[in-house]
Amino acid sequence: MKGTTQAFLVTIIGILGAVIFLGLTVYPFQYGFVESSILAGLIVLFSLFQFVLDEADI
């Protein structure tokens, strides 16, 4: 598979995954688009923070 084709497929899959994650995260709460985006962003930031703490040698 060529590099540009692979990059395109990875981008499409990433965007679809983000949309599905957003929908599954906020659908039960019936928030608007802005509130949904903020909630999903906070969940992602919290997950990244937890990952960094787990990987850190403290």
Residue of 52, 50, 22 lying closest to 37 (CA atoms): 22
Residue 3 confidence (pLDDT): 78
14: tokens are: 């990433």
Question: What ranges do the domains of the chain cover?
Answer: 3-55
pLDDT computed for residue 1 by the predictor: 66
**Bigger pLDDT: 45 vs 28:** 45
| Proportion of the chain above pLDDT 90, given as a percent | 0
Q: How far is CA 40 from CA 16, 33, 47, 55, 58, in A?
A: 14, 10, 11, 23, 28
Tally of residues, the chain: 58
18 vs 1, which has greater pLDDT?
18
pTM: 0.49
Cβ proximity of 40 and 26 under 8 Å:
yes
